[in-house]
Amino acid sequence: MSNNGMLKSSIARKVAMALSGLFLILFLGQHFFINSMSVVSPDTFNEISHFMGYNPVVQFVLQPILIFGVIFHFCMGLYLDYQNKKARPIKYVKNNGAANASWMSRNMVITGIVVLAFLGLHFYDFWVHEMNVKYINVQPEDPTRYYEELRQKFVDPVRVGIYVVSFVLLALHLLHGFMSSFQSIGFNNKYSRSLRGFAYAFAILVPAGFALIALYHHFTI
Ligand code: HEM
């Protein structure tokens, strides 16, 4: 490939990385909203969870897109990191890392791997259970079961601890990732400053909110 072609495809990959990240952030926002209902109104939480669990569009269109999005984001992230390291044989990180880039930006792969490991546990906790109830041990539809099932997951203090630590790493991942995705898609105008503020607030408040939800259920059951 010509130099020009290589540059173009590497920009395309960065844009794809940013768009998949923004898509996952969108998912995270709605996931946070639904989970926060488990604190505010158990009935509403049950209603929404039941809808999400049985709606065919959510189950057979959105869910596979989401899973593809997670896998794509992870693989592309590893690939771009590998390309970056190859293009920069002298590791400036070792020389004077802090002066060149923030801890967050230098450790996106590490924070990303921790979030992915969390997702493994999280899938085991909720998704595998759900598949079991619906398709393996087929049980009759019960639109009121979700709230209690959720609370049971947060009885174990070790699990709550793992969740909370993962949310801290998620915040670090988002603190760099959210802003950097705007840069990658070339969003640079008079709204950039406000968007920066929104991205930082989201990166801190949403993971903190997830942690509070887990702690709330743990300490109130
Ligand atoms: C206290 C925090 C959280 C609680 C209580 C929670 C709860 C849940 C519940 C009840 C489900 C539904 C399972 C199902 O019916 O299929 C779910 C799915 C999921 N959660 Fe969470 N979650 C939390 C945090 C997170 C975070 C921080 C992430 C991402 C980093 C995340 C990613 C996912 C994903 C990818 C799914 C699968 C969605 C699907 O069904 O396709 N969750 N979670």
- pLDDT tens track for 109-141: 999 999 999 999 999 999 999 999 999 999 999
> 144 Cβ partners below 8 Å, 6+ apart?
46
- CA-only gyration radius of the chain, Å: 20
pLDDT at 87 over 60: yes
Q: Please report the DSSP string for the chain in residue order.
A: --HHHHHHHHHHHHHHHHHHHHHHHHHHHHHHHHHHHHHH-HHHHHHHHHHHHH-HHIIIIIHHHHHHHHHHHHHHHHHHHHHHHHH--S-HHHHHHHHHS-HHHHTHHHHHHHHHHHHHHHIIIIIIHHHIIIIIS-----TT-HHHHHHHHTS-HHHHHHHHHHHHHHHHHHHHHHHHHHHHTT--STTHHHHHHHHHHHHHHHHHHHHHHHHHHHHH-
CA 213-142-212 angle, to 5 degrees, is 0
Ligand 1 center from residue 28 Cα (angstroms) = 9
Q: Which residue, judged by its Cα, is nearest atom 20 of ligand 1?
A: 122
Q: Which residue, judged by its Cα, is nearest atom 26 of ligand 1?
A: 28
Ligand 1 center from residue 97 Cα (angstroms) = 34
pLDDT at 188 over 60: yes
* Mean pLDDT within 87-99: 60
Whole-prediction pTM: 0.91
* Mean pLDDT within 104-110: 95
* Mean pLDDT within 55-64: 97
Ligand 1 center from residue 98 Cα (angstroms) = 34
Out of 87-101, 115-129, 154-168, least confident range: 87-101
Q: Would you identify the CATH topology of the domain 3-220?
A: 3 helical TM bundles of succinate and fumarate reductases (1.20.1300)
Helix (H), strand (E), coil (C) string for 129-182: HHHHHHHHCCCCCCCCCHHHHHHHHCCCHHHHHHHHHHHHHHHHHHHHHHHHHH
Q: Does ligand 1 lie within 6 Å of residue 134's CB atom? A: no
Q: Which residue, judged by its Cα, is nearest atom 17 of ligand 1?
A: 126
* pLDDT score, position 52: 96
